[in-house]
Amino acid sequence: MTGAAIFGFPESAAGAARLADELGVPAREVLVHRFPDGESLVRVEPPARVAVLYRSLDHPNEKLVELLLAASALKDNGARRVILVAPYLAYMRQDMAFHAGEAVSQRVVGSLLSAHFDAVLAIDPHLHRIASLSEIMPGVETACVSAAPALSAALDWSANPLLVGPDEEARQWVEAIAAPLEFDVLVGRKRRDADRRVELDISGVEQAAGRRIVLVDDVISSGETMIAAARLLFDAGASEVEALATHCLAREDDLTRMRAAGICSIRSTDTVPGPTASVPIAQLVAGEIRRRGWLRKR
């Protein structure tokens, strides 16, 4: 049995292989068979003493079940430690009951993962009213890695762009990305009426006149927030608007609408595979795993 290995599901095999290369350990595929009734059969082989399961949890409902089956299979076959690297960690936005009767999904999913993994690492999880994943995953080692260094390095500094966070929730990301090169930053305020209806206000938007703008957020989902922000910026005289995000969950029709709104470039990290995933995060993840010594034999 090997000391450590990275196990990736079919749709995340490329990201798992990049992480394995960075760490100098084998990459292995989790084999999944789906029966006609919707159940999944999961197989992992050969095992490893320290097994790192790599899977982003976009479209999480089906993926979560298969993830837990894989974790169980690894432990049943001799893994002493099973670590989850979830570059995109779903169900983190619902961190309180906003209306009577709602489930607090962040707490539920946190408890579920903490029961099956010895450590959990995520890239820029959507945490706002808690300080760290350890608050919802008791007894488990956790790590939150910021994609800001990789996103900052992806910017064209020579154009001196104005960075804009569309709402207060984006402030921490836009300021962290802007800081190394001391780019100017604006942060808007958002009121969401529904999943696809938003109203924005950007204080100081007149500074956009004649400038190249980079819209920055942690997640692009439907793209409506980015579209609303682009309209305000173009109305204020922006010469060009592009979008940069840690995670892009948008469908192709969402991306088409963003481009039609004048957003000339849409880029994200490779936490979620797709046409915008052009900024790799394997080096950041590998560095955090090494720093914490998670692959050392226990």
Enzyme catalytic residues: 190
* Whole-Å CA distances, 70 to 32, 266, 268: 9, 33, 28
And the tokens for 262? 């004048």
**Cα(217)–Cα(247) distance, rounded to whole angstroms?**
8
* Whole-Å CA distances, 16 to 5, 21, 179, 237: 10, 9, 30, 43
Give, as one character, the DSSP assignment of residue 208.
G
Cis bond leading into 46, ω under 30°? yes
CB-based contact 278:246 (threshold 8 Å):
no
CA-based diameter of the chain, in Å? 62
**CA nearest to 147, candidates 243, 276, 244:** 244
**CA nearest to 178, candidates 186, 168, 190:** 186
CB-based contact 53:85 (threshold 8 Å):
yes
**Cα(166)–Cα(223) distance, rounded to whole angstroms?**
11
The gap between the terminal CA atoms of the chain, to the nearest Å, is 14
Strands 27-29 and 2-8, by their bridges, are parallel
**Cα(273)–Cα(269) distance, rounded to whole angstroms?**
9
And the tokens for 231? 């309209």
Report phi then psi at 55, rounded to 5.
-160, 125
